Chain A
Amino acid sequence: MSPSRSPPKNPVLKTREPTVPPGLRSRAALRLTAAACEGRLELQRCRACSAFQYPPREACTQCLSTRLEWTECDGVGELISETILHHSNEPYFRERVPLRVGLVRLDVGVTIVAHVDGACAPAPARIRLAAHLDKSGQAALVAHPPEGPTDMTTSQTHRDMTCDPRGRKILVTDGKSETGEALVKAFIAAGADKVWAGVAEPWKDATAIDKLAQLEGVTTVPLDVTDARSVEALSGLIGGKVDILVNNAEFHRHKPVGARGVETARAEMDVNYLGLLRLIESFGPALKFRAADGPNGACAWVNILSVYALSALPSQATFTASKAAAFAASQALRADMMGVGIRVMNVFPGPIDDAWNQTVPPPKLAPSALAAAVVASLKAGVEDVYPGDVAQDILARWRESAKVLERELADQ
Chain B
Amino acid sequence: MSPVSASYNGVVVVAPVTIPYRRYAQHDAHWFLAKAVAGLRDAAGLATDDIDGLAVSSFTLFPDTAVGLTQHLGLTPRFLEHVPMGGASAVVQLRRAARAVQAGDASIVACVAGDTNRVDSFRQNLANFSRFARDAVYPVGAGGPNASFALLTAYYMRVYGAKAADFGKLCVAQRDNAQTYPYALIRKPLTLDEYLTARLVADPLRLFDCVMPCAGAEGFLVMREQDARGRGLPFARILGSIERHNAYPEDPIQMRGGWAMDRDDLYAQAGVGPADMDFLQAYDDYPVITVMQLEDLGFCPKGEGADFVRRNSFTAKGSLPLNTSGGQLSAGQAGAAGGHLGMVEAIRQLTRQTLSAPIPDARIGLVSGFGMINYDRGICTGAAILAASEA
A114 in contact with B140 (CB, 8 Å):
yes
A212 within 8 Å of B (CB atoms):
no
Chain A interface residue count, Cβ-Cβ cutoff 8 angstroms = 42
A111 in contact with B252 (CB, 8 Å):
yes
Query: A135-171 interface mask toward B, CB cutoff 8 Å, 1 = contact, 0 = none?
Result: 0101011000000000000000000000000000000
B253 in contact with A89 (CB, 8 Å):
no
User: How many Å lie between the Cα of A113 and that of B126 in the bound state?
Assistant: 16
B143 in contact with A54 (CB, 8 Å):
no
Interface centre among A26, A29, A83 (most CB of B within 10 A): A83
A93 within 8 Å of B (CB atoms):
yes
A86 in contact with B140 (CB, 8 Å):
no
B143 in contact with A140 (CB, 8 Å):
no
A111 in contact with B376 (CB, 8 Å):
yes
A111 in contact with B151 (CB, 8 Å):
no
User: How many Å lie between the Cα of A99 and that of B200 in the bound state?
Assistant: 12
Q: Find chain A residues with CB under 8 A from B199 CB.
A: 86
Segment of A2-10, A101-109, A399-407 in the binding face: A101-109
A55 in contact with B132 (CB, 8 Å):
yes
Tally inter-chain residue pairs, CB-CB below 8 A: 121
Partner of A103, one of B135, B144, B376: B376
A80 in contact with B155 (CB, 8 Å):
yes
User: How many Å lie between the Cα of A81 and that of B137 in the bound state?
Assistant: 15
CB within 8 Å for A81 and B146 given contacts A56-B135, A86-B200, A134-B139: no
B140 in contact with A83 (CB, 8 Å):
no
The residue in chain A whose Cβ has the minimal distance to the Cβ of B210 is A87
User: How many Å lie between the Cα of A88 and that of B123 in the bound state?
Assistant: 10
Query: A55-98 interface mask toward B, CB cutoff 8 Å, 1 = contact, 0 = none?
Result: 11000010000000000000000001111111111101100000
Q: Find chain A residues with CB under 8 A from B139 CB.
A: 21-23, 134, 136, 138, 140
Partner of A82, one of B123, B137, B142, B154: B154
Q: Find chain A residues with CB under 8 A from B138 CB.
A: 22, 90
B143 in contact with A123 (CB, 8 Å):
no
User: How many Å lie between the Cα of A134 and that of B136 in the bound state?
Assistant: 13
A25 within 8 Å of B (CB atoms):
yes
B8 within 8 Å of A (CB atoms):
no
The residue in chain A whose Cβ has the minimal distance to the Cβ of B136 is A55
Q: Find chain A residues with CB under 8 A from B43 CB.
A: none
B123 in contact with A89 (CB, 8 Å):
yes
User: How many Å lie between the Cα of A25 and that of B140 in the bound state?
Assistant: 13
Chain A interface residues (CB < 8 Å from chain B) = 21-26, 28-29, 54-56, 61, 80-90, 92-93, 99, 101-103, 105, 111-115, 123-124, 134, 136, 138, 140-141
Chain B interface residues (CB < 8 Å from chain A) = 122-123, 126-128, 131-132, 134-144, 146-147, 150-152, 154-155, 158, 199-205, 249, 252-253, 375-376
What would be 8 A-B contacts, judged by CB atoms less than 8 Å apart?
Answer: A21-B139, A22-B127, A87-B202, A88-B142, A99-B143, A105-B252, A123-B154, A140-B139
